[in-house]
Amino acid sequence: MEYKDYYKILGVSRDVAQDELKKTYRKLARKYHPDVSKEANAEEKFKEVGEAYEVLKDPEKRAQYDQFGSNYQNGQSFTPPPGWGQSSGGHGNFSNFFEGMFGGGAAGMGGDNFYAPGEDVNAKITITLEDAFHGTKKAIRRPSGSNQTGTISVKIPAGITSGKKIRLSGQGKSGMGGSAGDLYLEINIAPHAHYRLEDKNIMLDLPVTPWEAALSAKVTVPTLAGKINLTIPAGAKSGQKMRLKGRGLPGKEAGDQFVILQIVNPPVDNDNAKQLYQQMAEEFDFNPRKNMERIL
């Protein structure tokens, strides 16, 4: 009967800490789980790492195993801890070495003490800027690998930004004898026809006429919370930003909306328009490139 080195099976040192031992076991259990693994010997490996962890996870059992070691065939004394020989699962789940050395004692592979933990599932969801601003509920189809099929209702909180993740507990992939993992939905905010999003600030290019920019005017400006009236200052320039405090994405620290003025000239599409532009050229003593005269 061949000796089984449980430390070698799990790929850990003999002085491995319990936390690291558990972490390593879970990684291997996921890797070799027969339901998902593509390894040729997955089922055999799955049982092997489970048997190794069954012995090493309990400090008292681990101490007895370390004491007996590779001399198990030499008749050394082995005194198992209380309850060591009681099995809550079939002995067929364990190797001959295990049963010959320990009398088949421990919970079986399907027992409460052996499980493969569930896995988290990551997916993306695209929402509109209006959804991000107001908050909403979405019914989405569960992504591949989730615990169940069908749709699930997701609450999108107001003020969420792209890249943030929403965690849905227990909606991930099921494990073996353990709880399911979680589903993480990464938020993607779709581009908007008029607004641009910079962190929690909302940017809006606002077309204005030359006379509105030159003489001042009150214009209607859209925001995601509704329309407002905005006064354009006299002498405004194209590219000038006007801040609407607190009109960005909501939150503990709300963002702002920035209105960027864009001066738009009327088209020259008839004789009257052409005449007016000609009149302006004659009456205005204005050269916008005056400060570039040294290099022109």
Q: How many helices (H) and strands (E) does the chain have?
A: 8, 11
| 25 in a structural domain | yes
On whether both 167 and 232 belong to a single domain, the answer is no
Residues 208 and 183 in one domain: no
Q: Which two tokens stand for residue 181?
A: 């993992």
Considering its fold, how many domains does the chain have in total? 3
For residues 178 and 221, membership in a common domain is answered with no
Residue with tokens 């641009």: 196
Residue with tokens 């988290």: 120
The reply to whether 161 and 74 lie within a common domain is no
Highest mean pLDDT among 78-87, 178-187, 246-255: 246-255
Tell me if 143 sits within 8 A of 119, measured CB to CB: no
- 68 and 86, same domain (yes or no): yes
Residue 173's pLDDT is 80
Supply the pLDDT for residue 88. 37
For residues 29 and 91, membership in a common domain is answered with yes
Residue range 124-150, pLDDT digits in tens: 999 999 999 999 999 988 877 666 778
| DSSP H/E element including 19 | helix 18-32
Report pLDDT for 60: 79
86 and 10 in a common domain: yes
Which residue has better confidence, 84 or 95?
Answer: 95
| CA separation, residue 215 to residues 58, 222, 236, 244 (Å) | 83, 22, 9, 21
Residue 138 CB: number of other CB atoms within 10 A? Answer: 15
The reply to whether 152 falls in a domain is yes
| Percent of the chain predicted with pLDDT > 90 | 46
For residue 276, being part of any structural domain is answered with yes
Domain-terminating residue out of 147, 173, 189: 189
Q: What is the CATH number of the domain that holds 158?
A: 2.60.260.20
Q: Does residue 293 lie in a domain region? A: no
Q: Which of 44, 67, 102 is at the close of a domain?
A: 102
Are 10 and 96 in a shared domain?
A: yes
Among 102, 134, 169, where does a domain finish? Answer: 102
CATH at 35: 1.10.287.110
User: Do residues 232 and 250 share a domain?
Assistant: yes
Q: Containing domain of residue 64, as a range?
A: 6-102
Kindly state whether residue 296 falls inside one of the protein's structural domains.
no
**Band of the pLDDT at 74, cuts 50, 70, 90?**
very low
Residue 187, helix vs strand vs coil: strand
Average pLDDT, rounded, for the chain: 81
Asked if residue 95 lies in contact with residue 4, where contact means CB atoms within 8 angstroms, the answer is yes
Quickly count: other Cβ atoms within 10 Å of residue 116's Cβ. Answer: 24
For residues 184 and 273, give the distance between their C-alpha atoms in angstroms, rounded to a whole number: 59
Does 126 reside within a domain? yes
Query: What residue has token string 């609407």?
Result: 244
DSSP 70: G
pTM: 0.59
Residue 292 lies in a domain: no
Evaluate if residue 281 carries a pLDDT over 80. yes
Q: What is the pLDDT of residue 68?
A: 65
Residue 182 pLDDT exceeds 60:
yes
Q: Give the torsion sign (CA, 10, 14, 16, 22).
A: positive
108 pLDDT tier (thresholds 50, 70, 90): very low
Angle at 290 between CA 287 and CA 294, to 5 degrees: 150
Percent of the chain with pLDDT over 70: 79
Burial category of 60 from C-beta neighbours within 10 Å (exposed 0-12, middle 13-18, buried 19 and up):
exposed
Give pLDDT, residue 289. Answer: 85
In this prediction, residue 151 carries a pLDDT of 87
Residues 208 and 250 in one domain: yes
Q: 15 and 94: one domain?
A: yes
Give residue 5's pLDDT. 86
**Rounded-to-integer distance, Cα 256 and Cα 249, Å:** 7
The predicted-structure confidence for 208-224, as pLDDT tens digits, reads as follows 999 999 999 999 999 99
Helix (H) or strand (E) holding 81, with range, is: none
Q: Are residues 128 and 208 in the same domain?
A: no
